[in-house]
């Protein structure tokens, strides 16, 4: 399993390096309040990374957190109360 993770990470790094090397054109990104000068490869990789992070947060907020709350509620209902020994 560790080897598969290493191969996937290496493939992603290689793909990022290839994209960066093939897209060396200089671009200007205007954000309204400021602008950034960078090359196209870096802009593409940053945009992809931001999209993955925002998508992961959206899935976490809409699916994972409600399921965790539901699981915690189900576990509280299933577990009988612990009797008090009076010590």
**DSSP letter for each residue of 50-70:** HHHHHHHHHHIIIIIHHHHHH
Q: Which residue has the tokens 């994972």?
A: 64
Both structure tokens of 52: 């993955």
Residue 5 domain-assigned (yes or no) = no
Residue 31 domain-assigned (yes or no) = yes
Q: Please list the pLDDT of the chain residue by residue as tens digits (87 residues).
A: 899 999 999 998 899 889 888 999 999 999 999 999 999 999 999 999 999 999 999 998 999 899 999 999 988 888 666 677 766
Global pTM reads 0.70
Residue 52 domain-assigned (yes or no) = yes
Residue 42 domain-assigned (yes or no) = yes
Q: How far apart are CA 15 and CA 49, in angstroms?
A: 13
Q: How far apart are CA 57 and CA 45, in angstroms?
A: 18
pLDDT reported for residue 16: 87
């Amino acid at each position: 399993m560790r080897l598969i993770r290493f191969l996937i990470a290496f493939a992603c790094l290689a793909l990022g390096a290839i994209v960066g090397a093939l897209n060396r054109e200089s671009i200007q990104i205007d954000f309204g309040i400021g602008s950034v000068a960078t090359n196209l490869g870096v802009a593409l990789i940053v945009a992809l990374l931001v999209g993955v992070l925002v998508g992961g947060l959206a899935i976490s907020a809409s699916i994972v957190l409600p399921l965790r709350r539901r699981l915690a509620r189900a576990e509280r209902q299933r577990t009988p109360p612990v009797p008090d020994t009076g010590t």
